[in-house]
Amino acid sequence: MASPDLASPLGIRDRCLMELIFGAGLRISEVCQLGVADAVASTGLLRILGKRGKVRVVPLPGQTSEWVEIYLRDSRPKLVKKASSHLFLGARGGPLSRQSAFLILDSHREQAGLPGPLSPHTLRHTYAVTLLTGGADLRVVQELLGHSSIDTTQVYTQLDLEKVRVSYRKAHPRK
């Protein structure tokens, strides 16, 4: 998360992109099709058009909402070249593609010196595991991820959650 250059509009966009994928558990296709109107950061909610046209509303962590506000205020206006309702824009001002989003994540992974590749799904997976290790109900996680079947969400319970908790606390110590 710390690798983007926050002095540039693209760096702010990249940080916001990573925050949203991780903070809301989004699929890469969902984040790329988000509209500006879907991301009302002041409410702390995000409207997502998921698979098969299903709409869900996901609460955003405070830090994620802040990054959306920063991006909308300081970065997106500098990236707009032609009218677009898409939240995330590429360097040329058009909608950000799935391939570009994947490359952005992987380039920041490389800059941070992490082993790769880092897929958007890895951040989505981490979101789900973080919720479950924090005690979230499996049905709630199913709703937040937009899974139609509980069986899809149940895959995350196959993990040794205590092992995940220890690893998570080691990587993200609280002060």
Please identify which of the residues 54, 73, 81, 121 carries the catalytic annotation: 121
Q: What are the φ and ψ backbone dihedral angles of 61, each rounded to 5 degrees?
A: -60, 155
- Catalytic (active site) residue 15: no
Please identify which of the residues 51, 54, 81, 163 carries the catalytic annotation: 51
- Catalytic (active site) residue 124: yes
Please identify which of the residues 56, 98, 147, 165 carries the catalytic annotation: 147
- Catalytic (active site) residue 156: yes
- Catalytic (active site) residue 172: no
- Catalytic (active site) residue 109: no
25: region left, alpha or beta (phi > 0 left; psi from -120 to 50 alpha): left
Please identify which of the residues 13, 15, 27, 108 carries the catalytic annotation: 27
**Which of the residues are catalytic?**
27, 51, 121, 124, 147, 156
